[in-house]
Structure 1
Amino acid sequence: MKHLGIGIGWRPDIAEAVEGLAGIEWVEAVAENICPGHLPDSLVRLRERGVTVVPHGVSLGLGGADRPDPRRLAELAAQADALGAPLVTEHIAFVRAGGELTASPRLEAGHLLPVPRTRDALRVLCENVRIAQDSLPVPLALENIAALIGWPDEELTEGQFLAELVERTGVGLLIDVANLHTNHVNRGEDPVKTLDALPLEAIAYVHVAGGVERDGVWHDTHAHPVTRPVLDVLAELAARVAPPGVLLERDEAFPPAEELAGELGAIRATLRAAVSAAPAPAPAPGEPARWSPPPTHQNTPAHPDTPGRPHSPGTPDPSQTDRARERVALAETALLSSLTAGTPAPAGFDGRRLRVQARALVAKRADVAAKVAPELAELIGDGYREAFCSYAASRPMRGGYRQDALDFTRFLLDTAPPADPGSRRALERWYKDRAGPRPPGRTARLLRTLTRAA
């Protein structure tokens, strides 16, 4: 695995600051925001300077019951090629549920949700990872996620779940130490025990991010400074293994460049201190073990769950994975329906935590809708957030954030349109412009402008 060094999450809002930061060896860009044929100028300049760019996906949902969407995999592969990336990363999470496996409407979370740490979920995840690995031109590494809620009756700890995932698939690990801290506060999971259970040689790189605690719940906001407890978890990891790369994430409330530089300095200091305090490793021949991508399936024995291969007596039939998919689909759909559509909480879940998670999902939807359609918040004014939360409380996403903004506007026009006639007409025009089969052309926009002026 290539040495990455110290990096930072590249975002358009801080592109100029990132380019000016000293000592940045690599950056990570959200894959869904990258168009392979039209790379942002900032990323082009960074690549020309020799800075590595890694695409980081958020929408595959490899922990979901469905097999990965070939279109999404093809897009991720194209992004990796366009960026010349040494690897791509995604999450161990589900982001949608329902559909054909449950004969129910498709539900979108708009967020990364935890998979149950069960044998069924592991079986499904492993097959999905193998499908993804076969579709990508570079190695894949997966990130552990932060969670507000825990599944009842889990069969494996996080460390055991990750270790078995690596053993079965050879996938790399992206360890987010902020997420380990989040799960320590929210779910009582000891990050040290998780680190002890991990196959350290599988670590491709590490995430560090900030958050905030409110009413005993840790919110992994990526909008606050990195805290000392998170750096302590980083130190625990670095005392065990020298990670190939460490990256600072920030997604909201971007501080001045000097504050970002200060956080990067704290990360470097933590790594140096951990290495100094760690006992000298036992001598071993050759280079230290590093994660490398697994061989192709054609050159390795098939795992019993690999589809399309004969199974020997005493090993699980591949059809067991299909039955596992059905069970996982029902469980994940029930949870997501409770969080987004207001249906009863599935048995065994903490109702208070589910309500906290549901409110967090609605708040995120409101924030992202305002970003993808900033005109909406301007047209609606101070009542935007209250109106959106009223709409989203029992209406799941059905097609991504842009569709969510359209659905919200239609809901508002049907149920509580702005009292001011001018504002109402402006909102109606906005909706018609974007709800049609294609955006209006230049001539149509010019005629509309002249009509308004008249």
Structure 2
Amino acid sequence: MTNLGTGIGWRPEIADAVEGLPGVDWVEVVAENICAGHLPDSLLRLRERGVTVVPHGVSLGLGGADRPDAERLAELAAKATALGAPLVTEHIAFVRAGGLEAGHLLPVPRTWDALDVLCENVRIAQEALPVPLALENIAALVSWPGEELTEGRFLAELVARTGVRLLIDVANLHTNHVNRGEDPSRALDELPVEAIAYVHVAGGVERDGVWHDTHAHPVPPQILDVLADLASRVTPPGVLLERDDDFPPASELAAELSAIRGTLVRGRARAPRAALSRKPALTGAALSAAAPSATGVTGAASSDAVSSGAGSCGAAPSGGALPGARQRVGAAPSAAGVTGAGLSGTGLPGAGVFGAGPSAAGVTGAGPSGTGLPGAGSSGAGPSGTGLPGAGVFGAGPSGTGLPGAGVTGAGPSGTGLPGAGVSGAGPSGAGLPGAASPDGELPGARQRVGVAQAGLLGALVAGAEVPEGFDRARLRVQSRALAAKRAGVVAKVAPEVPEIVGDGYRAAFLAYAMSRPMRGGYRRDALDFVEHLLVAGEPADPAARRRLTLWWQDRAGARPPGRVTRFVRAARAALAGR
């Protein structure tokens, strides 16, 4: 593994500061925020100086029940190639389920079923990527009921089965200590520290007994203590400071980087003699020998598994089931043996202006009288009196909700508007929750079980569905509000004109909208849906602001972007309306 050194997360807002910081050996960039063919000038200058750039993905959802999307994998591979990156990184998380998007990294249940699914998804990603893959442990507000493994044991199993490297976020270990009662030291005891590719360090804040991993606050001493504990066990190839919001002056960033370097020295100084004599994190062939690669197998394959040479996760048998007698790595490896970011804050695309682009809505029907908004058309007619799309591509939602129900995604359970059957496949009887359909139309057992569980949780968080049994309802309410607040913040970044037009009431209006309307197509689609929701409701109350918002929506939701002359005329009209 490449010795990276000390780095910082590159963000457009601090691009100039990052270029001027002393002692920055490498940077990490959110993969979804760049295009392979049009890299930001700042990143190009850094690369010319010999600074390593690593793409960090946030949208693959490798911990989800569906197999990784081939297009997303191809885009990530292209970005890694364009950057000349020595590796790419992603998260052990799910981000979508049951036809819903979380807009956030959600925890995977630490069960054998979820591990089986994750391993197979990791193998698929490894085969598609041109460089090694490392996966990050995430922070969580909620715990899954009935978990079967600790975090360290889960990570040890993952590495042993797939040979994937690890990106250990010490801030996330601290977050899970506060929010879930998990001991960071025990996690470090159990996880394979020699498989670490690099380490994340970030700040957060505690409110009402809940730690929020904001990436918008200075790194506190307790997180540096976890970093020191890790450094006493292994010398990580790289350590990176993450900051995603409320960016401080460059001098403060430099001071935090200096504190991180000092913490690494402090950790190494307190390492026991045996640890000091141990090698740094395993690299290349050594890692492959210590833990099976994506093309190896842990032990003998189970009798009901069909060997395809694809690794311990292997190919599903012809009947669609994952291997029944799962291979285990036995006792959790010790630290002395062969062992080893937001929405991470937002961590999602947020920089840049929304702009006029191709049709996001594709809606052409007539809307409510006097609004110019759609009612019917390609998205179909919405519920009576709303003018919102209901049928068509997404299908008709339950009465009074305007949420999708039938169509491509399939009909969801009564009263929820959550998808159930259709192309995504039917869930268990009465559940109406889909999983990832296999070629013969049936779901592998583990994928189906994981998919149903994740769809139930996500439905409760973003669509007002019933809270699944065993979850802490109070914690889910905190998580649900946090997801809605994050949506409001990211929409304000990708469509800055919207809060400017709506004014001081933007945040409250968006949170009210978000609590009953799940995101259905990314943050730019979310901005369009929110504006449509306001206009249908006759908001904003100020006529001039409503006209400006209507023009904004029309510019971006038409069948095609308006021409330069049309945009000029509309801009002039909006300026006159604002007088």
Query: Could you tell me how far 1:441 is from its partner in structure 2?
Result: 2.3
Letter in 2 for 1:135: A
Q: What is the CA deviation profile of residues 387-415 of structure 1, one whole-angstrom value per residue up to 9, with x for unaligned ones?
A: 00110011111001000111001111111
- Name which of 251, 262, 267 aligns with 1:274: 267
- In structure 2, the partner of 1:442 is 564
- Name which of 243, 265, 269 aligns with 1:250: 243
- In structure 1, the partner of 2:551 is 429
1:88 and 2:81 equivalent? no
Evaluate the alpha carbon distance shift between residue 451 and residue 368 of structure 1 in structure 2; reply closer, same or farther with a 3 A threshold. closer
Native 8 Å contact 1:223 1:252 kept in 2: yes
Query: Could you tell me how far 1:4 is from its partner in structure 2?
Result: 0.2
1:143 and 2:147 equivalent? no
Letter in 1 for 2:314: T
1:348 and 2:470 equivalent? yes
- In structure 2, the partner of 1:60 is 60
Paired residue secondary structure (2:535): helix
- In structure 1, the partner of 2:479 is 357
> How many Å separate the matches in 1 of 2:482 and 2:509?
16
- In structure 2, the partner of 1:134 is 127
Paired residue secondary structure (2:64): coil
Paired residue secondary structure (1:425): helix
Paired residue secondary structure (2:273): coil
1:112 and 2:120 equivalent? no
- In structure 2, the partner of 1:70 is 70
Evaluate the alpha carbon distance shift between residue 251 and residue 386 of structure 1 in structure 2; reply closer, same or farther with a 3 A threshold. same
Percent sequence identity is 69
- In structure 1, the partner of 2:500 is 378
> How many Å separate the matches in 2 of 1:296 and 1:197?
20
Letter in 2 for 1:307: A
Evaluate the alpha carbon distance shift between residue 220 and residue 150 of structure 1 in structure 2; reply closer, same or farther with a 3 A threshold. same
Query: Could you tell me how far 1:27 is from its partner in structure 2?
Result: 0.2
- In structure 1, the partner of 2:20 is 20
- Name which of 167, 172, 175 aligns with 2:165: 172
- In structure 2, the partner of 1:337 is 459
Letter in 2 for 1:159: G
Structure number having the greater helix percentage: 1
User: Which segment drifts farther, 37-46 or 276-285?
Assistant: 276-285
Give the TM-score normalised by the residue count of structure 1. Answer: 0.93
Evaluate the alpha carbon distance shift between residue 353 and residue 423 of structure 1 in structure 2; reply closer, same or farther with a 3 A threshold. same
Paired residue secondary structure (1:240): coil
User: Which segment drifts farther, 298-307 or 54-63?
Assistant: 298-307
Aligned pairs for 1:21-420 (under 5 A) are 21-98=21-98, 106-281=99-274, 288=280, 290-292=282-284, 302-303=310-311, 305-307=313-315, 316=324, 322-420=444-542
User: Which segment drifts farther, 428-437 or 328-337?
Assistant: 428-437
Evaluate the alpha carbon distance shift between residue 279 and residue 428 of structure 1 in structure 2; reply closer, same or farther with a 3 A threshold. same
Native 8 Å contact 1:377 1:384 kept in 2: yes
Query: Could you tell me how far 1:443 is from its partner in structure 2?
Result: 2.7
Query: Could you tell me how far 1:420 is from its partner in structure 2?
Result: 1.6
> How many Å separate the matches in 2 of 1:412 and 1:282?
60
> How many Å separate the matches in 1 of 2:574 and 2:220?
52
Bigger radius of gyration, 1 or 2? 2
Query: Could you tell me how far 1:439 is from its partner in structure 2?
Result: 2.2
Letter in 2 for 1:267: I
> How many Å separate the matches in 2 of 1:49 and 1:239?
32
Paired residue secondary structure (2:2): coil
Paired residue secondary structure (2:222): helix
Q: What is the CA deviation profile of residues 19-44 of structure 1, one whole-angstrom value per residue up to 9, with x for unaligned ones?
A: 01000000000000011111111100
Query: Could you tell me how far 1:220 is from its partner in structure 2?
Result: 0.2
Native 8 Å contact 2:168 2:198 kept in 1: yes
Paired residue secondary structure (2:239): strand
Q: What is the CA deviation profile of residues 119-165 of structure 1, one whole-angstrom value per residue up to 9, with x for unaligned ones?
A: 11000000000000000000000000000000001000000100000
Native 8 Å contact 1:89 1:140 kept in 2: yes
Query: Could you tell me how far 1:118 is from its partner in structure 2?
Result: 0.4
Paired residue secondary structure (1:95): strand
Query: Could you tell me how far 1:257 is from its partner in structure 2?
Result: 0.5
Query: Could you tell me how far 1:446 is from its partner in structure 2?
Result: 2.8
Native 8 Å contact 2:136 2:167 kept in 1: yes
> How many Å separate the matches in 2 of 1:426 and 1:126?
49
Letter in 2 for 1:347: E
Letter in 2 for 1:358: S
Give the TM-score normalised by the residue count of structure 2. Answer: 0.74
Query: Could you tell me how far 1:422 is from its partner in structure 2?
Result: 1.1
- In structure 1, the partner of 2:371 is none
> How many Å separate the matches in 1 of 2:504 and 2:140?
31
> How many Å separate the matches in 1 of 2:275 and 2:109?
38
Letter in 2 for 1:290: L
- Residue correspondences, number: 444
Q: What is the CA deviation profile of residues 182-235 of structure 1, one whole-angstrom value per residue up to 9, with x for unaligned ones?
A: 000000000000000011111000000000000000000000000001000000
> How many Å separate the matches in 2 of 1:303 and 1:27?
32
> How many Å separate the matches in 1 of 2:122 and 2:241?
26
Native 8 Å contact 1:208 1:246 kept in 2: yes
- In structure 2, the partner of 1:101 is none
Structure 1 stretches lacking a partner, 5+ long: 99-105
Native 8 Å contact 2:30 2:56 kept in 1: yes
Query: Could you tell me how far 1:343 is from its partner in structure 2?
Result: 1.3
Query: Could you tell me how far 1:447 is from its partner in structure 2?
Result: 3.6
Evaluate the alpha carbon distance shift between residue 180 and residue 274 of structure 1 in structure 2; reply closer, same or farther with a 3 A threshold. same
- In structure 2, the partner of 1:6 is 6
Native 8 Å contact 2:53 2:85 kept in 1: yes
User: Which segment drifts farther, 272-281 or 365-374?
Assistant: 272-281
Query: Could you tell me how far 1:302 is from its partner in structure 2?
Result: 4.7
Paired residue secondary structure (2:9): strand
